């Protein structure tokens, strides 16, 4: 029987795990997690094949970075898409006003709030861009549920339902409700390939920000490319996204959506 390449990789990974289990004791093949090998494999096999292949080559590093995300702020990687949303009354509890904590960031939104860690990271990002001669401004930050209802209804009135479905999140399904997400100015195709777009593409990750809707991933994210829409994930999640998830935020947040509760249960404090 000819064994496929992925099967052989899986066999090698199993062997490595057994060796590691001998080192750390049964049920603890990674020092940060009290999970069994079969629990680990059940978790990894739910991921896209290309992500599995990266993890299989370096499972210890994968779990190191996963632990770092869990130990920082799990809310930062909350999975939001068309199927998974937030309740109408969900409001983050540490919102701060950008005009107060980051007065040198131009904000054109009436609601200028973000959670504190995202606001601080945004300030550092905007200052760094300015040092490079790139001027960034914010079109939109936190949006509560009723505001997203207005945005959605207004878009339908102006552009019709079909365009709205491709571009605008329904109420309760917007990353803006997390208080971690900004739209940079100007929103829309004008932003594509602008100096601001190019700068953010190269540097946003260094400040913990992630482009949620990259080009050519509409079939995964459910949204057309939005070059202006960035979500703060924090640096640990950015490292994990880039090292193992092919830079795709959706795969990363979906992983924590499926396995975050289990991982928190088995994480050793
Ligand atoms: Zn947005």
The tens place of each residue's pLDDT in the chain, 269 residues long, gives 445 656 565 555 555 554 454 444 445 678 999 999 899 999 999 999 999 999 999 999 999 999 999 999 999 999 999 999 999 999 999 999 999 999 989 999 999 999 999 999 999 999 999 999 999 999 999 999 999 999 999 999 999 999 898 889 999 999 999 999 999 999 999 999 999 999 999 999 999 999 999 999 999 999 999 999 999 999 999 999 999 999 999 999 999 999 999 999 999 98
Assess whether 110 and 222 both reside in one domain: yes
What is the whole-number distance in angstroms between the Cα of residue 229 and the centre of ligand 1?
A: 5
What is the whole-number distance in angstroms between the Cα of residue 214 and the centre of ligand 1?
A: 12
Assess whether 16 and 143 both reside in one domain: no
For residue 46, give its domain range: 5-73+258-266
The answer to whether residue 242 is domain-embedded is no
Name the residue among 127, 129, 142 with its Cα closest to residue 97.
142
What is the whole-number distance in angstroms between the Cα of residue 240 and the centre of ligand 1?
A: 23
Crossing angle between the packed helical segments 195-203 and 116-131, to the nearest 10 degrees: 120
Assess whether 10 and 60 both reside in one domain: yes
Assess whether 92 and 205 both reside in one domain: yes
State the Cα–Cα distance between residues 164 and 28, nearest whole angstrom.
Answer: 48
Assess whether 56 and 93 both reside in one domain: no
The answer to whether residue 136 is domain-embedded is yes
Assess whether 69 and 91 both reside in one domain: no
What is the whole-number distance in angstroms between the Cα of residue 180 and the centre of ligand 1?
A: 10
Assess whether 40 and 135 both reside in one domain: no
Contact (Cβ atoms closer than 8 angstroms) between residue 200 and residue 230: yes
**How many independent structural domains does the chain possess?**
2
Cβ neighbours around 125 below 10 Å, total: 23
Render the burial of 215-225: b for 16+ CB within 10 Å, e for the rest. Answer: eebeebbbbeb
Write down the pLDDT at residue 166.
81
What is the whole-number distance in angstroms between the Cα of residue 16 and the centre of ligand 1?
A: 43
Cβ neighbours around 42 below 10 Å, total: 13
The answer to whether residue 247 is domain-embedded is no
What is the whole-number distance in angstroms between the Cα of residue 176 and the centre of ligand 1?
A: 6
What is the whole-number distance in angstroms between the Cα of residue 3 and the centre of ligand 1?
A: 46
The alpha carbon dihedral of 190, 122, 178, 199 has a sign of: positive
Name the residue among 146, 151, 68, 72 with its Cα closest to residue 115.
72
What is the whole-number distance in angstroms between the Cα of residue 254 and the centre of ligand 1?
A: 19
The answer to whether residue 22 is domain-embedded is yes
Assess whether 133 and 35 both reside in one domain: no
Residue 110 sits in a domain of what CATH number? 3.30.1380.10
Write down the pLDDT at residue 29.
74
What is the whole-number distance in angstroms between the Cα of residue 140 and the centre of ligand 1?
A: 7
The answer to whether residue 23 is domain-embedded is yes
What is the whole-number distance in angstroms between the Cα of residue 183 and the centre of ligand 1?
A: 5
What is the whole-number distance in angstroms between the Cα of residue 108 and the centre of ligand 1?
A: 14
The alpha carbon dihedral of 236, 113, 177, 162 has a sign of: negative
What is the whole-number distance in angstroms between the Cα of residue 96 and the centre of ligand 1?
A: 18
Q: What are the strands, taking DSSP E only, across 172-249?
A: 181-184, 209-211, 229-232
The answer to whether residue 147 is domain-embedded is yes
The alpha carbon dihedral of 166, 170, 173, 178 has a sign of: positive
State the Cα–Cα distance between residues 21 and 73, nearest whole angstrom.
Answer: 29
Assess whether 66 and 87 both reside in one domain: no
The answer to whether residue 248 is domain-embedded is no
Assess whether 262 and 189 both reside in one domain: no
The answer to whether residue 92 is domain-embedded is yes
State the Cα–Cα distance between residues 196 and 209, nearest whole angstrom.
Answer: 14
Assess whether 100 and 227 both reside in one domain: yes
Using DSSP bridges, classify how beta strands 95-97 and 113-115 pair: parallel, antiparallel or unpaired: antiparallel
Cβ neighbours around 214 below 10 Å, total: 19
How many CA atoms within 13 Å lie on the side-chain side of 30?
A: 21
Assess whether 31 and 51 both reside in one domain: yes
């Amino acid at each position: 029987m000819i064994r496929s390449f992925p099967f052989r990789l899986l066999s090698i990974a199993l062997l490595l795990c057994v060796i590691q289990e001998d080192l750390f004791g049964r049920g603890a093949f990674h020092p940060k997690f009290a999970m069994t090998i079969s629990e680990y494999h059940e978790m990894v096999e739910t991921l896209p094949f290309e992500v599995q292949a990266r993890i299989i080559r370096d499972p210890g590093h994968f779990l190191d970075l996963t632990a770092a995300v869990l130990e920082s702020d799990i809310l930062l990687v909350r999975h939001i898409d068309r199927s998974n949303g937030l309740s109408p009354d969900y409001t983050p509890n540490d919102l701060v006003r950008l005009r107060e904590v980051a007065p040198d960031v131009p904000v054109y939104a009436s609601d200028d709030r973000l959670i504190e860690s995202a606001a601080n990271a945004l300030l550092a990002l905007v200052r760094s861009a300015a040092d490079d001669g790139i001027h960034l401004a914010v079109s939109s930050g936190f949006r509560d549920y009723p505001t997203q209802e207005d945005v959605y209804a207004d878009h339908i009135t102006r552009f019709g339902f079909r365009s709205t479905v491709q571009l605008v999140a329904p109420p309760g399904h917007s990353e803006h409700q997390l208080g971690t997400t900004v739209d940079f100015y100007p929103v829309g195709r004008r932003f594509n390939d602008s100096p601001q777009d190019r700068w953010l593409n190269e540097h946003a990750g260094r400040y913990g920000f992630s482009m949620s809707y990259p080009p050519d991933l509409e079939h995964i994210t459910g949204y057309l490319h939005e070059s202006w829409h960035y979500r703060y994930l924090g640096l640990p999640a950015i490292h994990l996204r880039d090292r193992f998830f092919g830079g795709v935020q959706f795969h990363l947040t979906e992983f924590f959506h499926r396995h975050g509760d289990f991982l928190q249960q088995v994480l050793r404090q």
